[in-house]
Structure 1
């Protein structure tokens, strides 16, 4: 981000990407190595030349105006690629003038959803946590209310929302999603469980990804009972036992094999191995 070393393996500098790649949608779509450099994380990505971010680098980045300026320019570059414009320094976003063409592409080019997850995580790592919610909210509006990005629904509810660290912000977005999801009784959300092998305590289970297996949707009758009790219908793991929910205000269990439980006034996601502790909080809606 100081424009002193080239990106590997492409051999170009970040300033060239920011000035010459903007609007070159074919290049941004088909090149798969720049995204790890532009949006670093503290985890290894597909480009093994791009090293994991360190805490020392994060501190240095946050104290370097030039690096932060280029990072926001890179964020605006990718937003433009997706048909979105950055409105201000608070992270508010809106449709760009070419949104129809770009949304159509984004709806069909689902590998970009992995990129968006990375971008959201990187925003948080580098001090722009507040920028996440406006972008996730826009995606919720477009996918659930305007139906311009219907293929994105699972990724938003299973991944994008859970990059947000503040529980209150996540709950606010989930309330909006629940309000506009159709059909309402089929509303499912939550980070998908990890695949568990023989050493993970039982037979392997397939996580609920966009192409995975989700729990059966609650029936309208189950939905009605949940609403009358003030509870929230949610998904969990097959192995989840009712006693584990006692601390969360258990209202009822719709069968251990159904993956559907109702909690009285609270919502809770339990990770298969508690690998998402940062995102697994319990909070009243």
Structure 2
């Protein structure tokens, strides 16, 4: 029985919707959906007010809300699944290493250098601050400064374990250096840490650093890693202030326009508490343009089935025609059978009891298909899918 239990794996979600529990317990999602049904929409920006009307007198909002004008956008399943596993504390996590192999903790205690560079943590903290060229072009230190329970691009760096996390959080010297490393990276991005609560603000050289950050988009992967590591090592409360600042700069002040997608697909969803994610997404929804392209809000009532009729609210209720034989053959060729997905469905609460604020439906575990699927992505999606 012990071996059988040891081989159980939690079936992971198979859709973006199953990965995202942000709005599942929020009564406001019903209110916002009702506003949409009543024709209440977001305020129109001055730029939108200046658009000319169409040839038939239609307003620009009418034109852009028409189905033929809507861009074909969708959320990344790879991002959603990656952040789902992180928020749920890696339910299928492998066995921990022995305490003698706590290399992340020993690195932060200045006992061993990072590999392969041979640099100690104290040298990084004291000599690298303000050396923006080194912080930009060296790609091995970030996995050591911000360890995770997943493998990064530096295969010399070790993943965190649950036991090591507990030791790290109880070691004052390691925590002091970790916050110094966080402050070091914030300075590199043009941000300063204000207090022990994690509040942040622009630094004195923010203009120059934001310009660099807007163009150097590989740093968005680093920021995702930093946010994850904050949560692993006891600083979950530090995430929301940083993500809020990025939202304000990207959507309101337009100083980081290239960061919008990464903030909404990745940064927000590193935050484990759904209520904190909702607050950030409500703010983003107010400033995101065009309004109809905002993909991260609560599901509309129109997409929910009516009780008893099986049709979505607002739909005609007419069934789609049966697929032609040719279409049916194509669908069968693209269908992934359940037998290709490993795992046994078990209660999530038994696997990750310390993350009970995340209760989403469980789907299939398709880890074995991850490589082929990622190869099918476009260049932009793949760059976001790579884990540091």
Q: TM-score w.r.t. structure 2 length? A: 0.52
- TM-aligned CA deviation for residue 189 of structure 1: 2.8
The 3-state SS of whatever aligns with 2:230 is: helix
Among candidates 4, 13, 18, match of residue 125 of structure 2:
18
* Residues in 2 aligned to 1:270 and 1:15: alpha-carbon distance in whole angstroms: 45
Regions of 4+ moved over 2 Å: 231-234, 241-246, 250-256, 268-275
Question: What's 2:154 paired with?
Answer: 47
Structure 1 residues 6 and 183: alpha-carbon distance in aligned structure 2, compared to 1, 3 A threshold: same
- TM-aligned CA deviation for residue 243 of structure 1: 6.1
* Residues in 2 aligned to 1:48 and 1:245: alpha-carbon distance in whole angstroms: 52
Question: What's 1:72 paired with?
Answer: 179
Among candidates 196, 208, 226, match of residue 101 of structure 1:
208
Question: What's 1:139 paired with?
Answer: 246
Question: What's 1:197 paired with?
Answer: none
In the TM superposition, 1:1-285 aligns within 5 A as 1-189=108-296, 232-233=299-300, 251-252=313-314, 273=364
The 3-state SS of whatever aligns with 2:262 is: helix
* Residues in 2 aligned to 1:269 and 1:151: alpha-carbon distance in whole angstroms: 30
Q: Compare the two structures and name the one with the higher helix fraction.
A: 2
Structure 1 residues 274 and 37: alpha-carbon distance in aligned structure 2, compared to 1, 3 A threshold: same
Q: Is this contact kept in 2: 1:106–1:112, CA < 8 A?
A: yes
Q: Is this contact kept in 2: 1:136–1:161, CA < 8 A?
A: yes
Give the number of the structure with larger relative contact order, counting CA–CA contacts within 8 Å between residues 6 or more apart.
2
Structure 1 residues 131 and 103: alpha-carbon distance in aligned structure 2, compared to 1, 3 A threshold: same
- TM-aligned CA deviation for residue 182 of structure 1: 1.3
Structure 1 residues 60 and 172: alpha-carbon distance in aligned structure 2, compared to 1, 3 A threshold: same
Structure 2 unaligned segments of length 5 or more: list them: 1-107, 321-358, 367-388
* Residues in 2 aligned to 1:130 and 1:152: alpha-carbon distance in whole angstroms: 22
Q: Is this contact kept in 2: 1:242–1:253, CA < 8 A?
A: no
- TM-aligned CA deviation for residue 274 of structure 1: 7.4
- TM-aligned CA deviation for residue 188 of structure 1: 2.1
- TM-aligned CA deviation for residue 272 of structure 1: 7.3
Q: Is this contact kept in 2: 1:92–1:134, CA < 8 A?
A: yes
Question: What's 2:60 paired with?
Answer: none
* Residues in 2 aligned to 1:74 and 1:54: alpha-carbon distance in whole angstroms: 20
Q: TM-score w.r.t. structure 1 length? A: 0.70
Residue deviations 1:217-269, cap 9 Å, x none?
xxxxxxxxxxxxxx7459xxxxxx976999xxx6456999xxxxxxxxxxx99
RMSD: 2.9
Q: Is this contact kept in 2: 1:86–1:92, CA < 8 A?
A: yes
Q: If you compute each CA radius of gyration, which structure gives the higher value, 1 or 2?
A: 2
Structure 1 residues 73 and 243: alpha-carbon distance in aligned structure 2, compared to 1, 3 A threshold: same
